[in-house]
Protein backbone atom coordinates (compact mmCIF):
# COMPACT_ATOMS: atom_id res chain seq x y z
CA UNK A 1 0.00 0.00 0.00
CA UNK A 2 1.22 3.55 -0.65
CA UNK A 3 2.49 5.19 2.51
CA UNK A 4 0.48 8.04 3.98
CA UNK A 5 3.65 9.66 5.12
CA UNK A 6 7.26 9.04 5.92
CA UNK A 7 7.94 9.43 9.63
CA UNK A 8 11.43 10.63 8.78
CA UNK A 9 10.31 13.43 6.41
CA UNK A 10 10.77 17.12 7.38
CA UNK A 11 6.98 17.80 7.23
CA UNK A 12 6.47 15.04 9.74
CA UNK A 13 9.02 16.51 12.15
CA UNK A 14 7.20 19.87 11.99
CA UNK A 15 3.70 18.51 12.59
CA UNK A 16 3.16 14.75 12.82
CA UNK A 17 -0.50 14.93 13.87
CA UNK A 18 -2.20 14.97 10.42
CA UNK A 19 -0.01 12.02 9.40
CA UNK A 20 -0.84 10.20 12.64
CA UNK A 21 -4.58 10.65 11.95
CA UNK A 22 -4.20 9.31 8.41
CA UNK A 23 -2.23 6.30 9.65
CA UNK A 24 -4.79 5.46 12.35
CA UNK A 25 -7.56 5.62 9.79
CA UNK A 26 -6.04 4.13 6.64
CA UNK A 27 -2.81 2.34 7.49
CA UNK A 28 -2.95 1.16 11.12
CA UNK A 29 -0.20 -1.36 10.34
CA UNK A 30 2.45 -0.40 7.78
CA UNK A 31 5.91 -1.51 6.87
CA UNK A 32 8.35 1.39 6.98
CA UNK A 33 11.43 0.86 4.86
CA UNK A 34 13.74 3.49 6.38
CA UNK A 35 13.42 2.25 9.97
CA UNK A 36 12.96 -1.37 8.83
CA UNK A 37 9.99 -1.65 11.14
CA UNK A 38 6.23 -2.11 11.22
CA UNK A 39 4.46 1.01 12.44
CA UNK A 40 1.31 0.89 14.57
CA UNK A 41 -0.68 3.95 15.59
CA UNK A 42 -4.03 2.98 17.16
CA UNK A 43 -4.49 3.21 20.94
CA UNK A 44 -5.79 -0.32 21.17
CA UNK A 45 -2.80 -1.77 19.28
CA UNK A 46 -0.10 0.21 21.10
CA UNK A 47 -1.72 -0.58 24.46
CA UNK A 48 -1.72 -4.27 23.57
CA UNK A 49 1.96 -4.29 22.61
CA UNK A 50 2.95 -2.48 25.83
CA UNK A 51 0.83 -4.69 28.06
CA UNK A 52 2.08 -7.76 26.19
CA UNK A 53 -0.12 -10.15 28.15
CA UNK A 54 0.90 -13.15 26.04
CA UNK A 55 4.66 -12.42 25.98
CA UNK A 56 4.67 -11.87 22.21
CA UNK A 57 7.22 -9.04 22.25
CA UNK A 58 10.75 -8.47 23.54
CA UNK A 59 12.92 -5.38 24.04
CA UNK A 60 15.87 -6.94 22.19
CA UNK A 61 15.86 -3.91 19.86
CA UNK A 62 17.46 -1.95 22.71
CA UNK A 63 20.60 -4.04 22.31
CA UNK A 64 21.47 -1.97 19.25
CA UNK A 65 19.58 1.21 20.21
CA UNK A 66 20.87 1.74 23.76
CA UNK A 67 23.82 -0.55 24.39
CA UNK A 68 26.42 1.61 22.57
CA UNK A 69 25.77 4.64 24.82
CA UNK A 70 24.57 3.14 28.09
CA UNK A 71 25.75 -0.46 28.24
CA UNK A 72 23.26 -3.06 29.43
CA UNK A 73 20.29 -1.36 31.10
CA UNK A 74 17.04 -2.53 32.65
CA UNK A 75 15.29 -1.80 29.34
CA UNK A 76 17.21 -4.58 27.58
CA UNK A 77 16.35 -7.17 30.21
CA UNK A 78 13.37 -9.47 30.07
CA UNK A 79 11.67 -12.21 32.05
CA UNK A 80 12.92 -13.02 35.53
CA UNK A 81 16.13 -11.03 35.06
CA UNK A 82 14.05 -7.92 34.37
CA UNK A 83 11.71 -8.60 37.29
CA UNK A 84 14.64 -8.86 39.71
CA UNK A 85 16.32 -5.71 38.37
CA UNK A 86 13.04 -3.87 38.57
CA UNK A 87 12.62 -4.98 42.19
CA UNK A 88 16.15 -3.74 42.92
CA UNK A 89 15.67 -0.21 41.55
CA UNK A 90 11.94 0.57 41.77
CA UNK A 91 11.70 1.02 45.59
CA UNK A 92 14.00 4.06 45.32
CA UNK A 93 11.33 5.82 43.22
CA UNK A 94 8.30 5.05 45.40
CA UNK A 95 6.06 7.83 46.66
CA UNK A 96 7.29 7.55 50.24
CA UNK A 97 10.95 7.89 49.22
CA UNK A 98 10.14 10.81 46.97
CA UNK A 99 8.18 12.58 49.64
CA UNK A 100 10.82 12.18 52.34
CA UNK A 101 14.09 12.43 50.51
CA UNK A 102 13.67 13.80 47.04
CA UNK A 103 10.88 16.37 47.16
CA UNK A 104 13.22 18.75 49.04
CA UNK A 105 15.88 18.13 46.36
CA UNK A 106 13.39 18.98 43.60
CA UNK A 107 12.15 22.08 45.43
CA UNK A 108 15.67 23.36 46.08
CA UNK A 109 16.91 22.82 42.53
CA UNK A 110 13.79 24.37 41.03
CA UNK A 111 14.07 27.42 43.30
CA UNK A 112 17.75 27.89 42.43
CA UNK A 113 16.99 27.97 38.72
CA UNK A 114 14.05 30.35 39.12
CA UNK A 115 16.02 32.66 41.41
CA UNK A 116 18.62 33.03 38.65
CA UNK A 117 16.12 34.78 36.34
CA UNK A 118 13.14 36.03 38.36
CA UNK A 119 14.64 39.52 38.74
CA UNK A 120 15.09 39.96 34.97
CA UNK A 121 11.47 40.00 33.75
CA UNK A 122 12.16 37.58 30.91
CA UNK A 123 13.44 34.05 30.41
CA UNK A 124 13.41 31.15 28.02
CA UNK A 125 11.64 28.41 29.96
CA UNK A 126 13.21 25.70 27.79
CA UNK A 127 16.79 26.92 27.98
CA UNK A 128 16.85 28.48 31.46
CA UNK A 129 14.69 26.00 33.31
CA UNK A 130 13.29 22.86 31.65
CA UNK A 131 16.52 21.45 30.22
CA UNK A 132 18.33 22.03 33.51
CA UNK A 133 16.01 20.93 36.28
CA UNK A 134 15.77 17.15 35.62
CA UNK A 135 19.53 16.68 35.12
CA UNK A 136 20.36 18.72 38.23
CA UNK A 137 17.79 16.76 40.24
CA UNK A 138 19.16 13.38 39.15
CA UNK A 139 22.77 14.39 39.80
CA UNK A 140 21.74 15.70 43.22
CA UNK A 141 19.67 12.60 44.04
CA UNK A 142 22.65 10.40 43.19
CA UNK A 143 24.73 12.48 45.60
CA UNK A 144 27.20 13.72 42.98
CA UNK A 145 29.30 16.83 43.30
CA UNK A 146 27.47 20.03 42.30
CA UNK A 147 30.63 21.08 40.48
CA UNK A 148 30.12 18.16 38.08
CA UNK A 149 26.64 19.24 36.96
CA UNK A 150 28.05 20.91 33.84
CA UNK A 151 29.85 17.71 32.78
CA UNK A 152 26.64 15.83 33.43
CA UNK A 153 24.81 18.21 31.17
CA UNK A 154 27.40 17.67 28.46
CA UNK A 155 27.09 13.88 28.62
CA UNK A 156 23.34 14.13 28.66
CA UNK A 157 23.37 16.28 25.52
CA UNK A 158 25.66 13.83 23.70
CA UNK A 159 23.50 10.85 24.69
CA UNK A 160 20.33 12.59 23.52
CA UNK A 161 21.99 13.48 20.20
CA UNK A 162 23.04 9.82 19.80
CA UNK A 163 19.53 8.53 20.46
CA UNK A 164 17.97 11.00 18.00
CA UNK A 165 20.65 10.51 15.32
CA UNK A 166 18.26 9.67 12.48
CA UNK A 167 20.68 10.52 9.72
CA UNK A 168 23.40 8.39 11.35
CA UNK A 169 25.90 11.27 11.46
CA UNK A 170 29.20 9.51 12.30
CA UNK A 171 30.40 12.36 14.53
CA UNK A 172 27.26 12.16 16.66
CA UNK A 173 27.66 8.38 16.90
CA UNK A 174 31.30 8.74 17.93
CA UNK A 175 30.47 11.40 20.54
CA UNK A 176 27.76 9.12 21.99
CA UNK A 177 30.15 6.18 22.23
CA UNK A 178 32.80 8.42 23.78
CA UNK A 179 30.25 9.43 26.41
CA UNK A 180 29.87 5.81 27.43
CA UNK A 181 33.63 5.61 28.06
CA UNK A 182 33.91 8.96 29.85
CA UNK A 183 30.83 8.30 31.95
CA UNK A 184 32.24 4.94 33.06
CA UNK A 185 35.60 6.53 33.90
CA UNK A 186 33.74 9.06 36.03
CA UNK A 187 31.13 6.85 37.67
CA UNK A 188 32.88 3.56 38.43
CA UNK A 189 35.36 5.05 40.97
CA UNK A 190 32.50 6.97 42.61
CA UNK A 191 30.41 3.79 42.86
CA UNK A 192 33.37 1.89 44.42
CA UNK A 193 33.94 4.69 46.89
CA UNK A 194 30.26 4.92 47.76
CA UNK A 195 30.07 1.19 48.52
CA UNK A 196 32.52 1.82 51.35
CA UNK A 197 30.75 4.93 52.63
CA UNK A 198 27.02 4.44 52.19
CA UNK A 199 24.90 7.54 52.71
CA UNK A 200 21.31 8.60 52.31
CA UNK A 201 21.48 9.21 48.55
CA UNK A 202 20.12 7.26 45.55
CA UNK A 203 23.52 5.86 44.60
CA UNK A 204 23.95 4.37 48.08
CA UNK A 205 20.46 2.85 47.86
CA UNK A 206 21.38 1.23 44.53
CA UNK A 207 24.70 -0.06 45.93
CA UNK A 208 22.98 -1.63 48.94
CA UNK A 209 19.91 -3.01 47.13
CA UNK A 210 19.53 -6.77 47.31
CA UNK A 211 16.71 -9.03 46.09
CA UNK A 212 16.81 -12.83 46.42
CA UNK A 213 20.55 -12.64 47.05
CA UNK A 214 21.09 -10.66 43.83
CA UNK A 215 22.89 -7.32 43.86
CA UNK A 216 23.90 -4.98 41.06
CA UNK A 217 27.50 -4.89 39.84
CA UNK A 218 29.39 -1.61 39.44
CA UNK A 219 28.73 -1.87 35.71
CA UNK A 220 24.98 -2.47 36.26
CA UNK A 221 24.73 0.61 38.47
CA UNK A 222 26.75 2.75 36.09
CA UNK A 223 24.48 1.71 33.17
CA UNK A 224 21.39 2.48 35.23
CA UNK A 225 22.73 5.95 36.15
CA UNK A 226 23.50 6.58 32.50
CA UNK A 227 19.95 5.57 31.58
CA UNK A 228 18.57 7.86 34.30
CA UNK A 229 20.27 10.81 32.65
CA UNK A 230 18.53 10.16 29.34
CA UNK A 231 15.29 8.55 30.52
CA UNK A 232 14.76 11.09 33.28
CA UNK A 233 16.32 14.16 31.69
CA UNK A 234 15.23 14.36 28.08
CA UNK A 235 11.68 13.27 28.88
CA UNK A 236 10.95 15.38 31.94
CA UNK A 237 12.43 18.49 30.33
CA UNK A 238 9.97 18.09 27.45
CA UNK A 239 7.10 17.56 29.89
CA UNK A 240 7.93 20.77 31.78
CA UNK A 241 8.22 22.80 28.57
CA UNK A 242 5.05 21.27 27.13
CA UNK A 243 2.82 21.77 30.17
CA UNK A 244 3.83 25.45 30.29
CA UNK A 245 3.45 25.89 26.51
CA UNK A 246 0.02 24.22 26.58
CA UNK A 247 -1.17 26.37 29.49
CA UNK A 248 0.28 29.61 28.11
CA UNK A 249 -1.44 28.87 24.78
CA UNK A 250 -4.76 28.30 26.61
CA UNK A 251 -4.94 31.32 28.94
CA UNK A 252 -8.36 30.42 30.38
CA UNK A 253 -7.00 27.04 31.51
CA UNK A 254 -3.85 28.70 32.86
CA UNK A 255 -6.05 31.08 34.87
CA UNK A 256 -8.01 28.13 36.27
CA UNK A 257 -4.78 26.36 37.31
CA UNK A 258 -3.37 29.54 38.83
CA UNK A 259 -6.54 29.91 40.88
CA UNK A 260 -6.80 26.25 41.92
CA UNK A 261 -3.45 24.47 42.10
CA UNK A 262 -5.13 21.11 42.68
CA UNK A 263 -5.75 21.17 38.91
CA UNK A 264 -2.03 20.76 38.18
CA UNK A 265 -2.13 16.93 38.18
CA UNK A 266 -4.92 17.08 35.58
CA UNK A 267 -2.87 19.52 33.50
CA UNK A 268 0.10 17.14 33.77
CA UNK A 269 -1.93 14.09 32.67
CA UNK A 270 -3.51 15.99 29.78
CA UNK A 271 -0.12 17.33 28.71
CA UNK A 272 1.31 13.81 28.59
CA UNK A 273 -1.66 12.66 26.51
CA UNK A 274 -1.76 15.65 24.17
CA UNK A 275 1.99 16.28 23.79
CA UNK A 276 3.87 13.21 25.07
CA UNK A 277 7.65 13.69 25.41
CA UNK A 278 8.34 10.23 23.93
CA UNK A 279 6.55 9.71 20.62
CA UNK A 280 7.95 6.35 19.60
CA UNK A 281 8.96 3.18 21.37
CA UNK A 282 10.15 0.05 19.58
CA UNK A 283 9.71 -3.61 20.35
CA UNK A 284 10.59 -6.86 18.62
CA UNK A 285 8.01 -9.54 17.82
CA UNK A 286 8.90 -12.88 19.39
CA UNK A 287 6.32 -14.70 17.32
CA UNK A 288 3.90 -13.90 14.46
CA UNK A 289 1.39 -11.39 15.86
CA UNK A 290 -1.95 -10.31 14.38
CA UNK A 291 -2.54 -6.57 14.73
CA UNK A 292 -5.23 -4.42 13.07
CA UNK A 293 -5.96 -7.03 10.44
CA UNK A 294 -2.35 -7.68 9.47
CA UNK A 295 0.55 -9.80 10.64
CA UNK A 296 3.79 -8.70 12.25
CA UNK A 297 6.16 -11.57 11.53
CA UNK A 298 8.36 -13.11 14.23
CA UNK A 299 11.65 -11.25 14.60
CA UNK A 300 10.34 -7.99 13.10
CA UNK A 301 10.75 -4.62 14.79
CA UNK A 302 7.55 -2.75 15.72
CA UNK A 303 7.43 1.03 16.09
CA UNK A 304 4.66 2.02 18.53
CA UNK A 305 3.50 5.58 17.90
CA UNK A 306 2.57 6.88 21.34
CA UNK A 307 1.92 10.35 19.91
CA UNK A 308 -0.64 8.89 17.50
CA UNK A 309 -2.28 6.49 19.96
CA UNK A 310 -2.78 9.29 22.50
CA UNK A 311 -4.88 11.20 19.93
CA UNK A 312 -7.01 8.22 18.87
CA UNK A 313 -10.64 9.36 18.39
CA UNK A 314 -11.78 5.84 19.31
CA UNK A 315 -10.30 6.40 22.76
CA UNK A 316 -10.64 10.14 23.48
CA UNK A 317 -13.36 12.60 22.65
CA UNK A 318 -12.15 15.52 20.55
CA UNK A 319 -8.56 14.24 20.86
CA UNK A 320 -6.88 17.23 19.19
CA UNK A 321 -8.14 19.57 21.90
CA UNK A 322 -5.99 20.35 24.94
CA UNK A 323 -8.51 20.18 27.78
CA UNK A 324 -7.44 19.69 31.39
CA UNK A 325 -11.10 19.17 32.31
CA UNK A 326 -11.69 16.23 29.97
CA UNK A 327 -13.70 13.41 31.49
CA UNK A 328 -12.03 10.54 29.61
CA UNK A 329 -8.68 10.92 31.37
CA UNK A 330 -8.45 9.98 35.03
CA UNK A 331 -6.46 12.31 37.19
CA UNK A 332 -4.41 10.23 39.53
CA UNK A 333 -3.71 10.88 43.19
CA UNK A 334 -0.46 12.38 44.42
CA UNK A 335 1.18 9.01 45.06
CA UNK A 336 0.02 7.13 42.04
CA UNK A 337 1.69 7.28 38.66
CA UNK A 338 -0.93 5.09 37.01
CA UNK A 339 -2.08 6.76 33.84
CA UNK A 340 -4.65 6.12 31.18
CA UNK A 341 -2.58 7.61 28.43
CA UNK A 342 0.42 5.83 26.93
CA UNK A 343 3.16 8.41 27.56
CA UNK A 344 4.82 6.28 30.29
CA UNK A 345 4.17 3.02 28.39
CA UNK A 346 2.38 0.24 30.27
CA UNK A 347 3.15 -3.23 31.54
CA UNK A 348 6.52 -4.56 32.65
CA UNK A 349 8.60 -1.60 31.46
CA UNK A 350 6.18 1.09 32.68
CA UNK A 351 8.28 4.14 33.50
CA UNK A 352 10.06 3.64 36.82
CA UNK A 353 10.44 7.41 37.21
CA UNK A 354 6.80 8.37 36.57
CA UNK A 355 6.22 9.67 40.10
CA UNK A 356 9.52 11.55 40.08
CA UNK A 357 8.61 13.16 36.75
CA UNK A 358 5.20 14.09 38.13
CA UNK A 359 6.76 15.63 41.23
CA UNK A 360 9.28 17.62 39.17
CA UNK A 361 6.67 18.97 36.77
CA UNK A 362 4.13 19.80 39.47
CA UNK A 363 6.70 21.49 41.69
CA UNK A 364 8.08 23.40 38.71
CA UNK A 365 4.69 24.72 37.62
CA UNK A 366 3.76 25.67 41.17
CA UNK A 367 6.98 27.54 41.83
CA UNK A 368 6.92 29.38 38.50
CA UNK A 369 3.32 30.49 39.06
CA UNK A 370 4.18 31.62 42.60
CA UNK A 371 7.21 33.61 41.50
CA UNK A 372 5.51 35.12 38.42
CA UNK A 373 1.90 36.19 38.91
CA UNK A 374 1.73 37.56 35.36
CA UNK A 375 3.74 34.91 33.50
CA UNK A 376 2.95 35.13 29.77
CA UNK A 377 4.41 34.22 26.39
CA UNK A 378 6.66 36.83 24.79
CA UNK A 379 4.64 38.92 22.32
CA UNK A 380 3.91 37.23 19.04
CA UNK A 381 5.65 34.00 20.01
CA UNK A 382 4.18 30.67 18.95
CA UNK A 383 5.91 27.65 20.48
CA UNK A 384 7.41 25.39 17.81
CA UNK A 385 7.67 21.73 18.65
CA UNK A 386 10.37 19.62 17.16
CA UNK A 387 11.56 16.05 17.26
CA UNK A 388 10.53 12.64 15.99
CA UNK A 389 11.41 10.13 18.70
CA UNK A 390 11.11 12.67 21.48
CA UNK A 391 9.29 15.91 20.96
CA UNK A 392 8.77 19.22 22.72
CA UNK A 393 8.95 23.01 22.35
CA UNK A 394 12.38 24.15 21.19
CA UNK A 395 12.11 27.50 22.92
CA UNK A 396 9.61 29.20 25.22
CA UNK A 397 10.38 32.89 25.75
CA UNK A 398 8.25 34.38 28.53
CA UNK A 399 7.77 37.79 30.16
CA UNK A 400 6.76 38.68 33.72
CA UNK A 401 7.09 41.43 36.27
CA UNK A 402 10.57 41.16 37.80
CA UNK A 403 10.73 40.24 41.47
CA UNK A 404 13.34 39.49 44.06
CA UNK A 405 13.36 36.58 46.42
C1 LIG B 1 10.79 3.71 31.07
C2 LIG B 1 8.66 7.79 29.52
C3 LIG B 1 10.61 10.24 33.25
C4 LIG B 1 13.29 6.35 34.30
C5 LIG B 1 10.01 4.61 30.36
C6 LIG B 1 9.20 4.26 29.21
C7 LIG B 1 8.62 5.41 28.77
C8 LIG B 1 9.05 6.47 29.64
C9 LIG B 1 7.68 5.56 27.58
C10 LIG B 1 9.00 2.85 28.64
C11 LIG B 1 10.09 2.48 27.68
C12 LIG B 1 9.78 1.16 27.05
O13 LIG B 1 8.82 0.48 27.44
O14 LIG B 1 10.49 0.74 26.11
C15 LIG B 1 8.97 8.79 30.42
C16 LIG B 1 8.41 10.14 30.40
C17 LIG B 1 8.94 10.82 31.45
C18 LIG B 1 9.86 9.91 32.13
C19 LIG B 1 7.40 10.64 29.36
C20 LIG B 1 8.72 12.24 31.90
C21 LIG B 1 7.59 12.88 31.77
C22 LIG B 1 11.50 9.39 33.87
C23 LIG B 1 12.30 9.73 35.03
C24 LIG B 1 13.06 8.63 35.31
C25 LIG B 1 12.73 7.61 34.34
C26 LIG B 1 12.26 11.06 35.76
C27 LIG B 1 14.05 8.40 36.40
C28 LIG B 1 14.86 9.25 36.89
C29 LIG B 1 12.84 5.30 33.52
C30 LIG B 1 13.39 3.95 33.57
C31 LIG B 1 12.66 3.18 32.64
C32 LIG B 1 11.69 4.08 32.04
C33 LIG B 1 14.53 3.49 34.44
C34 LIG B 1 12.85 1.70 32.32
C35 LIG B 1 11.90 0.83 33.10
C36 LIG B 1 12.01 -0.66 32.77
O37 LIG B 1 12.63 -1.03 31.77
O38 LIG B 1 11.47 -1.46 33.53
N39 LIG B 1 9.89 5.96 30.60
N40 LIG B 1 9.85 8.70 31.47
N41 LIG B 1 11.78 8.10 33.49
N42 LIG B 1 11.83 5.35 32.60
FE43 LIG B 1 10.76 6.99 32.11
Distance (angstroms) between ligand 1 centre and the Cα of 263 equals 24
- The structure's pTM equals 0.95
**Residue 70 in contact with ligand 1 by CB distance below 6 A:** no
Count of structural domains within the chain: 1
Does some domain include residue 355?
yes
CA of 232 to the centre of ligand 1 (A): 7
Arithmetic mean of pLDDT, 266-282: 96
For residue 103, give the CATH number of its domain.
Answer: 1.10.630.10
307 lines ligand 1 (CB under 6 A): no
202 lines ligand 1 (CB under 6 A): no
Is 345 among the domain residues? Answer: yes
92 lines ligand 1 (CB under 6 A): no
Q: Helices 251-259 and 264-274, interaxial angle, to 10°?
A: 150
Q: What is the pLDDT of residue 164?
A: 80
The rounded distance, in Å, linking the Cα atoms of 228 and 156 is 10
How is the chain split among helix, strand and coil, in percent rounded to 5? 55, 10, 35
* Residue 15: inside a domain: yes
Q: Is 307 domain-assigned?
A: yes
Inform me whether the pLDDT recorded for 338 exceeds 70.
Answer: no
Tell me, in angstroms, the distance from the centre of ligand 1 to residue 399's CA: 32
Given a cut of 60, is residue 344 above it in pLDDT? yes
CA dist., res. 93 & res. 20, Å (int): 33
Substitution candidate for ligand 1 out of 140, 144, 351, 358 with most atoms within 8 A of CB: 351
> Is the minimum distance from the CB of 356 to ligand 1 under 6 angstroms?
yes
Q: What is the pLDDT of residues 103-135, one digit of tens each?
A: 999 999 999 999 999 999 999 999 999 999 999
Residue of higher predicted confidence among 321 and 95 = 321
pLDDT at position 4 is 61
In contact, 38 and 30? CB cutoff 8 Å:
yes
Find out whether the beta carbon of 228 lies less than 6 Å from any atom of ligand 1.
yes
pLDDT tens-digit series, residues 127-170: 999 999 999 999 999 999 878 888 888 898 898 888 888 778 89
Percent of the chain clearing pLDDT 70 (strictly above) = 97
Ligand 1 atom with the smallest distance to the CA of 358 is 21
Domain membership of residue 360 (yes or no) is yes
pLDDT, average across residues 382-405: 91
Q: Residue 1 pLDDT > 50, yes or no?
A: no
Residue 344, ligand 1, Cβ within 6 A = yes
Say if 281 falls within a structural domain: yes
| 405 within a domain of the structure (yes/no) | no
Residue 41: domain span = 10-371+387-394
Which residue is closest in CA terms to ligand 1's atom 26?
232
Burial grade of 54 (CB within 10 A; 0-12, 13-18, 19 or more): exposed
Residue 380 within a domain: no
Q: Which pLDDT belongs to residue 2?
A: 47
pLDDT at 36 over 70: yes
Task: Determine the atom of ligand 1 nearest the C-alpha atom of 233.
Answer: 26
Q: How far is the CA of 372 from the centre of ligand 1 (A)?
A: 30
Amino acid sequence: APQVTDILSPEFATDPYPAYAAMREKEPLIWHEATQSYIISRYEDVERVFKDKKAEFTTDNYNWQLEPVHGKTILQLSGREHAVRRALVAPAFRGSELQEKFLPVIERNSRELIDAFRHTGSADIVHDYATRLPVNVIADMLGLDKADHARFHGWYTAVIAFLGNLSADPEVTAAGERTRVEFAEYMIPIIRERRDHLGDDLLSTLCAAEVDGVRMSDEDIKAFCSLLLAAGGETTDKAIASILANLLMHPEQLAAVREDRSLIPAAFAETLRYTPPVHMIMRQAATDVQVSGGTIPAGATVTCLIGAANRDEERYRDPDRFDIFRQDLTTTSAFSAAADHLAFALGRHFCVGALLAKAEVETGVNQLLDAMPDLRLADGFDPVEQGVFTRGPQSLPVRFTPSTV
